[in-house]
Structure 1
Amino acid sequence: MPSFEIVTHVMAPPERVFDISLNVDVHAASMAGSSEEAIGGVTAGNLKMGDIVTWRARHFGIRWRMTSMISAYDQPGYFVDEQVSGPFKRWYHAHHFRPYGHDGTVMSDVIEFAAPLGPLGRIAEMLALRHYMPKLIRVRNQYIKQVAEANLTAD
């Protein structure tokens, strides 16, 4: 099963980065390139333990739906979202937030995923998903970083 980790340094406190990372509106804005939108469950504001959200997006020219649930939550240290239903055989995304320096955060995303369809899915993982998924998370994290750092003076 493929897995990867993306580490992002954010010059904002962990509590702030944690909250922004759980915001449905921020997530949708970060994924504007794939037209991602929340269409079911919690569709605005911040997610919390046990919340479910259904996303609709376009990846590889195909419209996808994925329902995920916040399955672990320890503010401001980490949360986990896992696919309940959708395109993956398995999707597990752990978000970790550690203090760094003075009011900074090390945000670490650990993702495990598996494509469906047995051998065909493993080919898709090797040819496309192993490269596409980390890029997608990096785009998301850069948006979170931008929001967290840009609005510090507005609080």
Structure 2
Amino acid sequence: MTTIQLSTVIKAPIQIVFDYSRNIDTHQQSANKTSEVAIAGKTKGLINKGETVTWRGKHFGLYLQHQSIISQMELYTYFVDEQLKGHFKSFKHQHFFEEKNGVTIMKDVMEYATPFGILGTCFDLLFLKKHLNNFLIQRNNYLKLQSEQKSLQTSHFKLI
């Protein structure tokens, strides 16, 4: 089992960050390098507990599909997406949100296991963990940018 943990500080209210994090359209925009597209289940807008989405994206030169379900959700503080079908032996991505002193701290805990025994372990050590870490960083940077822009827009309207 491999675990990736990231923490991102975002200057925006927790509700904005939470909603961008579970927005299918935002995810597709953030994953443009892998041409990731929602092809089944929830394919647009905000995904909620119990809903599924099937992603198709290009990773390591191959188009792969990954179906996940939002297995847990506590509005504005936590949600979990877990693989139902895909190429991982197991996959669980926990999303935590906490607002402190006018900023939101978004934490990712991604846990996964690869199939194929020692070959899967070697692939993970050599390529996969770095790929997934970079994928999350790119996604989080995009979420940060979008959330902070939205926060500025809404605070601007409050001033008028």
Q: TM-score, normalised by structure 2?
A: 0.94
Q: Which residue does the alignment assign to 1:34?
A: 34
Coordinate RMSD, CA, aligned: 0.8
Cα shift readout 1:101-128 (whole Å, capped 9, x = no counterpart): 12x1000000001111111111111111
Whole-angstrom CA distance in 1 between matches of 2:101 and 2:87: 39
Superposition deviation, residue 154 in structure 1: 3.2
Q: Which residue does the alignment assign to 1:82?
A: 82
> Counterpart of 1:116 in structure 2: which amino acid?
P
Number of equivalent positions = 154
Is 1:133 aligned with 2:120?
no
Q: Please list, as runs of the form range in 1=range in 2, the aligned pairs for 1:111-130 lying within 5 A after superposition.
A: 111-130=110-129
Q: TM-score, normalised by structure 1?
A: 0.97
Gaps in structure 2 of 5+ consecutive residues: 155-160
Q: Structure 1 residue runs of 4+, over 4 Å off?
A: none
Partner of 2:143, secondary structure, is helix
Larger radius of gyration: 2
Whole-angstrom CA distance in 1 between matches of 2:141 and 2:128: 20
> Counterpart of 1:71 in structure 2: which amino acid?
S
Whole-angstrom CA distance in 1 between matches of 2:95 and 2:20: 12
Gaps in structure 1 of 5+ consecutive residues: none
Whole-angstrom CA distance in 2 between matches of 1:65 and 1:129: 16
Superposition deviation, residue 87 in structure 1: 1.1
Equivalent residues of 2:16, 2:151 under 8 A apart: no
Superposition deviation, residue 132 in structure 1: 1.2
Whole-angstrom CA distance in 1 between matches of 2:39 and 2:95: 23
Whole-angstrom CA distance in 2 between matches of 1:132 and 1:14: 27
Determine what percentage of the aligned residue pairs are the same residue. Answer: 38
